[in-house]
Each structure stands twice: as C-alpha cells, then as structure tokens.
Homo-oligomer: A and B are copies of this chain.
Amino acid sequence: MSFNARLMAASAIALGLIATPVMAQDARTIRAAEQVRDQALQANIALDYVTQVTTRFGARPAGSRSEQAAADWAADYMRAHGFQNVRIEQFPLVGWERGEESAELLGARPQRLVAAALGHSIATPANGIEADVVFFDGLDALLAAPVGSLTGKIAVVDGGQMVRMQDGSGYGSLSRIRSVGPTEAAKRGAVAFVMRSAGSDEHRMPHTGTTRYVEGKVPLPAFALSAPDADQVARLVQMGEPVRLRLKSTAHTYQTHSQNVIGDIVGATRPDEIIVLGSHMDSWDLGTGAIDDAAGGAITLAAAKLVAEQGRPARTVRVVLYGSEEVAQPTDTGNGGGAYVRNIGVAGVEKHVIAGESDFGADRIYALGLPPGAQGSDFAKIAERVLRPLAVLSGEAELFGGVDIGPLARAGVPVFGLRQDGTRYFDLHHTADDTLDKIDPAQMTQNVAAWAALVRLIADSDVDFRALRSAATEAKP
C-alpha cells in the first residue's frame, strides 16, 4: 500500500468515516529516514556553508553586489556538492543603501543616540532634520492623534520591549509599528518617525527592517532606536526634560537586480513531483545575516545533500536560495518568492507537492507542522516516530510557511513547517549582532537532522498533501 493510500485511509479514520486498523509501516522508508537523520548528526555541511557565506560576503542587502556575488558563489557551491540543474534566475528590484546616519538629543546636554534608518527610508536633508519630539506610548496612541497635530514634529513611538517566546509571538504587533508607523506619522504632519526597535534584547543594537511604501517610497525619514536608547528618551520625557532630536540619513535607492539560486536533487522515479526547500540569501546590511538567513540555506542545503548522498529519492528535492526576501520593492514583485512563482507559471506550481522554508535562525527544531489534513495520518505518525529521538513534537497544521514560499502557498502549494526555537531570535534579528558566532553548531545539527529525515520521508512517499487538504476541508461542516 502506498503512503498516499494509507494516508487517505488514516485520514478517513480520523474523520470518523470508517474504522480500519492502521496499516503496517513502510519499514524500509522509515529506516532510510532514520539513517539520514543519524548521518546528519555525525557530519553535515551546514556550518561550512554558513561560515563561508557570512565570512566571505558579510552583509548581503537585496540587490547589492555582495548578494549577487554570494549567489554566484552559492551556485558553484551547490554544483560542487552534487546538485543538478543549478541555475540563477534574475529579477529586477529597487535596492536601498544605508548611508551615513546619526541621531542626537540636542539642547544643553546633547547625547548621541544609537539608531538605524528603516529599510527604504528616505534621506533627510543634508544638515539633518531638527525638531521637538512627541512621544507615543504605543501605536494606538499615535493613531489617536489628530491629523495635523504633529506638524513639524518628530513622532517617537515606543511599543515596549518584546518578550522572548519560543515561537516568536509578539513580533507581529511590534513590527506593525514599523510597517504603518511612518505613514501614520506623516499623515499627521510629522517630519520624521522614530520607533523603539522591535526586538527582545537590551543592547545598543537598533533593529532595522522595511516599512510600508506610499507611492513607491517610505513617506518620511524613519529610524529605529536601540532599546536602551528608547528607554533613555522615555525617561527624559518622564523627567520633564525638553527632548529635541537631530536626525540625519543619506540613505538612497537605486535600480538593480536580485536573483534566486536554484538547484535540484532530481527524483529517480517521479522527478516531476517537486519538494521545494527555501531560505533567503539576502540579509540586512547591519550584520552579516548568519541567523537571518544564511542558516536557512545551510540547513536546507545540508539536508538535501545528505538525502542525495544516501541515494536518489523518488521525487525531486529542490533547494532555492531566494533573493530579496527582506524587501519587496516594487511591492509584491521585487522579491525572490514572487519571481520564482512567476517563472515556473501555473504548470510549474502544480508540480510542487509541498514547500518548506527555514528562516528563523539555527536553533533546534521543536515541532513539525504538516499541511491541513495531514495531522493524524499515517505519514504524520511515521514522521513523528522518526523525529521523536530529536525531541520534535507534532504541532498544529502549518498554513503560512514563510515569506519566501508565501507566493507558492497562495498559489495552492501545501506547506510544512519545521518550527525552530526562536527564544533568542529577536535578540539578534535585523541587527549588527546577527553574526556567525551566534550560531550554535549543536542546535543547527539537530535542525539539519530533522530536515534531512523529513525530506527523505516526503521524497520517497507518494503522499498527496493537496488531496489530504481537500478531504479535510470538504469534511468540515
């Protein structure tokens, strides 16, 4: 009995339609997955890859020469490690380059603050913007300010310190300040926007990140302060000290291109059924993009290579190193995930049986999220058994996948999530501190082992995750 048939049966059982005992497991497939898992724990190329990318190329902003050079190098790296059909697919985008920037408290007691312009933020005039601060204790307070009430002022929004959580929850509401804050401040007349970084650390490390564009650009100069600097401004306001800032930035945009680097382990028996593993090559400019996201490339490349070395799988395993994940300018087209789907077209999308993305650091995997309908299936039980020695649990269904595979998901491709521990991810995310030393090789190795084992299982099976999803959806009242 094929995996697929068994899964359909199991799914039917789960739905209470029929009462059949679960069939015997496919012992050979399980053993292969266990072997590749254990092989990963012995040796894998993840640390080599992440070391080389971050050391040789440093920061890799979307569309930069550094990202382009890293892509060329990564294509060679893929070929050297046995990937087939290795190719680079370019797409145009608007790049953004940080220039010189500074933030100072003015007055009798000037102080330098540590701040970073938000991605795609426009430059200030050459001698900066100097204005009094209006302080908002969160986004709602800014939204409550009347139009025109910030004329000539600098809006400072402090949404509070992010709490460390395993799954990173809490980031959404804080990153919303970054997303909509500049536009909302501009609507109210502000001349600049400053936010407390969306991060969980207490270092002088501003967290950059991109924001929402209005007519193709960020409407005003926008900055993130490090947490201690945001605390300092908040205390000065509380003490009744006058708070006036001078902000400078020479950031600029330019026309450029980015690219996706694609390599395959071509399937032995069903090469047109593709499992696509994703991560992104670009990074923010402040750090060297070790956890965000050279680690994702390292993990997925290492896993796919281990699978290939063990013996070609039935299905094709594809690894994509997407360009320009961090920004999408023009919105929805200037990113690698969108470019990939445009290039493969509808027929290509249909060949993709499932997609997974690694873009949350390099710490250990703690849960597997399968596509809706696959929970409780035979496939899920086998995966659980193979991943259990790695202390990976079965989690809720995966719906999102990630930014890079979002366009695939929206085009109908089922997605899985190997969920990794993000407790310290937002200490480092989008800061200068995202560097190689933050990678914990032992945790990354566990991560590679989980990916290798799961990819082996999926690639040797004939599970149709679309069909499982449809069955589950149709079964709902």
Interface of A toward B, CB cutoff 8 Å: 51-52, 55-59, 66, 69, 100, 105, 108-112, 114, 202-205, 227-228, 231-232, 235-236, 239, 241, 287-288, 431-433, 435-438
Return chain B residues, CB-CB under 8 Å to A203: 203, 205, 433
Of B109, B112, B231, B435, which contacts A232 at CB under 8 A? B435
Return chain B residues, CB-CB under 8 Å to A57: 109, 111
Return chain B residues, CB-CB under 8 Å to A205: 203-204
Return chain B residues, CB-CB under 8 Å to A436: 228, 231-232, 235
Say yes or no: B433 contacts A112, CB within 8 Å.
Answer: no
Known: A58-B105, A111-B288. 12 other contacts (CB 8 A): A55-B235, A55-B239, A56-B109, A58-B112, A66-B110, A203-B203, A204-B431, A228-B436, A231-B437, A232-B288, A232-B435, A232-B436
Of B69, B105, B236, B438, which contacts A108 at CB under 8 A? B69
Return chain B residues, CB-CB under 8 Å to A437: 202, 227-228, 231
How far apart are A112's CB and chain B's nearest CB, in angstroms?
Answer: 7
- 20 A-B pairs with C-beta separation under 8 A: A51-B235, A52-B239, A55-B235, A56-B109, A56-B236, A56-B241, A58-B109, A58-B110, A59-B111, A66-B110, A66-B111, A100-B100, A202-B437, A203-B205, A204-B205, A228-B433, A228-B435, A228-B437, A231-B436, A232-B436
Q: How far is the CA of A56 from the CA of B437 in the complex (A)?
A: 35
Say yes or no: A432 contacts B114, CB within 8 Å.
Answer: yes
Say yes or no: A204 contacts B58, CB within 8 Å.
Answer: no
Q: How far is the CA of A203 from the CA of B51 in the complex (A)?
A: 17
Q: Of A66, A69, A435, which is in contact with the most chain B CB atoms at under 10 Å from its CB?
A: A435
Across the A-B interface, the 4 shortest Cβ-Cβ residue pairs: A58-B111, A204-B432, A228-B435, A55-B235
Task: Report the nearest B residue to A114, measured CB to CB.
Answer: B432
Return chain B residues, CB-CB under 8 Å to A235: 51, 55, 436
Contact status of A433 and B109, CB under 8 A, knowing A58-B232, A232-B288: no
Return chain B residues, CB-CB under 8 Å to A59: 111-112
How far apart are A143's CB and chain B's nearest CB, in angstroms?
Answer: 28
Q: How far is the CA of A12 from the CA of B204 in the complex (A)?
A: 55
Task: Report the nearest B residue to A161, measured CB to CB.
Answer: B437
Say yes or no: A435 contacts B108, CB within 8 Å.
Answer: no
Return chain B residues, CB-CB under 8 Å to A239: 52, 55-56
Task: Report the nearest B residue to A432, measured CB to CB.
Answer: B204
Of B51, B66, B204, B232, which contacts A433 at CB under 8 A? B204
Q: How far is the CA of A103 from the CA of B432 in the complex (A)?
A: 14
Of B236, B432, B433, which contacts A55 at CB under 8 A? B236
Return chain B residues, CB-CB under 8 Å to A241: 56
Q: How far is the CA of A437 from the CA of B241 in the complex (A)?
A: 20
Q: How far is the CA of A69 from the CA of B227 in the complex (A)?
A: 26
